[in-house]
A and B are shown apart, each in its own frame.
Chain A
Amino acid sequence: MSKELAIKSFQAVGFPTSKMEEWKYTSLKNLNEIDWSWEELNLSVASIDGLQICTLQDLLNHSTEFKAKWEGKDPILEQNPLFALNAAICENPLVLWIKEGIQIEDAVHLSVFLKQDKNTAFQSKMIVFLEKDSSFSIIESANSQGETPVFSTFVQEVFLAEGAQFKYVKEQNLSDSCTYVDQTFVYQDSNSQADTFTFSLNGGIIRNNLHFYINGEQVVSNLNGLYVPGANQLMDTHSVVDHRLPNSESNELYKGVLMGQSTGVFNGKIFVRKDAQKTNAFQSCRNVLASQKATMNTKPQLEIWADDVKCSHGTTTGQLNEESLFYMRSRGISLAAAKTLLLLAFAQEVIDTIPFEETRKSISEKIIAKIEASNDLVI
């Protein structure tokens, strides 16, 4: 489909609205009012020894090796007009290719930068291709500058061959006039491990879709995430972990600190297919409403067809404990500082999962700053 045709057919349907089940709490209806300029966004990836960075077309045209390995890999994306349009616009995505047995210790920095000088609908796509027994890590930061409303869809397809290891840290720190949709597809073969760390620090609307397809045995998938919306921000996480084969393990640890009049959404689906016996799948989503005007919507969904599995899920949404606050104040700690300490202590569990010390420190500092700046915290 040509780019123009894809845009036209998207415009006929429009942005998702709350009438669609998957977008029930995150209506993008208002975006239909804006005359968007649809553009492909260039991603900026730092180079590192052992990593091949190239566009998909170049690789298919010039590397018979890649072409052979890519055969049959092109996945079917979610049936969603947004992603169909992304695929049409980003027909030649960037590929990060890590060859068999290559272990890259240092994380690579990836920058997603949205310039807000006109109504741009940025589209970007990246493929991460990890061959057998390779290992690779990305620290991604999504930032923006300016005030004009922008929209962004960023799709990543990550392929982990047998024994591959992948760590993916995402820091989303965007302005209030950004609507940011992030879609991560992860395909895992046997003995591979993929860990994601999604930190939504700031942004008008942030929607994180994570789809994990477990296509092997002894696979480990860890999904960690923290969202700290304030003001009128909306942060939405939709995860799907699809256990298709036996003996694998998935863990989801999500936490939210909601301030101001913000809204949070967590929808976590776990599928355990008929053949996926001996699956261990765990999901936890805990939230603190740090403001009386904040809202959290949670929906865990487990669909289990196998009979010999261990699965659990738990979602909680609460407020700060008054007794704890009084205890801290009785020691001289101001109410604001006591709240900050308690909220940070709550978030710490997810922050501590970040395997890179500097990133852990800088994200932690940004979270403290955001909580401290939120002056309308109530218990």
Chain B
Amino acid sequence: MLSINNLHARIGEKEILKGINLEIKPGEVHAIMGPNGSGKSTLASVLAGREDYEVTEGSVIFQGKDILELAPEERAAEGIFLAFQYPVEIPGVSTTNFLKSAVNEIRKYRGEEPMDAVQFLKMFKEKMAYVNIDQSLLSRALNEGFSGGEKKRNEIFQMAVLEPKLAILDETDSGLDIDALRIVAEGVNKLKGPDNATIVVTHYQRLLDYIVPDFVHVLYKGRIVKSGTKELALELEEKGYDWIKAEVD
């Protein structure tokens, strides 16, 4: 489904990703862990198409297409979804309106008819139940004045509505208390299927108790320096990152 080959990326003069290789198959959950500044969020941003980063080398093939040439909105329409570490507040635009635009733009890209108001409302109601989100939140301006937990829940709700093939959760656990974390993780698990894949970017093992990964990769200094199964995450939780740094440096 996703094949990252020798990916190099920089911001300004600073090289952050220095040759990432990663293969993801449908149905898999991959966790990307690593110390602060290792390039985890950069990888998530580059996959989603954030223009601050310049890809200098390598390729990213998603479902047979090189996505590096695509605009962020085209990647979204191809089925990539980034759940933001810091969801953006957009005054004056309600979540409902925002998602209606998103759904219909994606349908247009795929050559499908736009959804009418009735269909949209029905689909919306179904998805609301998934993440236990309240209607009142959705009619408010997008993320404006939302608590940390509400923002993250809104991200997962958007994911439920857009049904991506590949979901990238960028530090979704940051700023969440344990209850919010559980609700968010439950939502992600419900959306998991044999045809879609998930990348969980996280600093701590905690989230992986709820979203159980098939593979764990450790990112350090812009490279994946170690890969394993969920046991690797437990080992990191216990011993920290220093032993990996020592192995690499």
Contacts and interface: CB of A to CB of B under 8 A. Distances in A.
Interface string A308-330: 00000000000001011011111
A330 B49 contact: yes
B208 interface: no
Contacts of B82: 330
A11 interface: no
Interface stretch (A50-58, A83-91, A153-161, A344-352): A344-352
Contacts of A329: 49, 71-73, 76
B167 to A, nearest CB: 12
A342 interface: yes
Q: Sort chain A's interface into a size bin.
A: 20 to 34
B116 to A, nearest CB: 18
Contacts of A327: 84, 87-88, 90
A345 B90 contact: yes
Nearest to B73: A329
A349 B76 contact: no
Q: Sort chain B's interface into a size bin.
A: 20 to 34
Nearest to A344: B92
Interface in A220-256: none
Interface stretch (B20-28, B93-101, B226-234): B93-101
A369 interface: no
A46 interface: no
Contact of A331 (B51, B92, B162): B162
A331 B99 contact: yes
A323 B158 contact: no
A304 interface: no
**Which of B75, B105, B141, B162: most chain A CB closer than 10 A?**
B105
Interface string B129-149: 000000000000100000000
B162 A332 contact: yes
A345 B93 contact: yes
A357 to B, nearest CB: 19
A139 interface: no
A314 to B, nearest CB: 16
B90 A330 contact: no
A82 interface: no
Interface string A340-371: 01101110110000000000000000000000
Contacts of B91: 345
B176 to A, nearest CB: 19
Interface in B161-194: 162
Interface string A54-98: 000000000000000000000000000000000000000000000
B101 A337 contact: yes
B87 A348 contact: no
B50 A331 contact: no
B216 interface: no
A328 B158 CA distance: 11
A47 interface: no
A185 B194 CA distance: 70
A233 B155 CA distance: 41
Contacts of B92: 342, 344-346, 348-349
A333 B77 CA distance: 9
Contacts of A349: 92
Given A330-B82, A332-B76, A332-B105, A324 B162 contact: no
A342 B93 CA distance: 7
A327 to B, nearest CB: 4
A341 B98 CA distance: 8
Nearest to B94: A345
A334 interface: yes
Contacts of B77: 332
A326 to B, nearest CB: 6
A336 to B, nearest CB: 10
A43 interface: no
B211 interface: no
B90 A333 contact: no
A181 interface: no
B93 A332 contact: no
B48 interface: yes
A196 to B, nearest CB: 23
Interface in A14-48: none
Given A330-B73, A345-B141, 17 more contacts: A324-B90, A327-B84, A329-B71, A330-B72, A331-B102, A331-B158, A331-B162, A332-B103, A332-B105, A332-B109, A332-B162, A333-B102, A334-B105, A342-B90, A342-B93, A345-B90, A346-B92
30 contacts: A323-B88, A324-B90, A327-B84, A327-B90, A328-B98, A328-B102, A329-B49, A329-B76, A330-B48, A330-B49, A330-B82, A331-B76, A331-B99, A331-B162, A332-B73, A332-B102, A332-B103, A332-B106, A332-B162, A333-B73, A333-B98, A333-B101, A334-B71, A334-B105, A341-B97, A341-B101, A342-B92, A344-B92, A346-B92, A349-B92
Q: Can you list the 6 inter-chain pairs with the closest CB atoms, starting with the nearest?
A: A345-B92, A332-B76, A329-B72, A332-B106, A327-B88, A331-B102
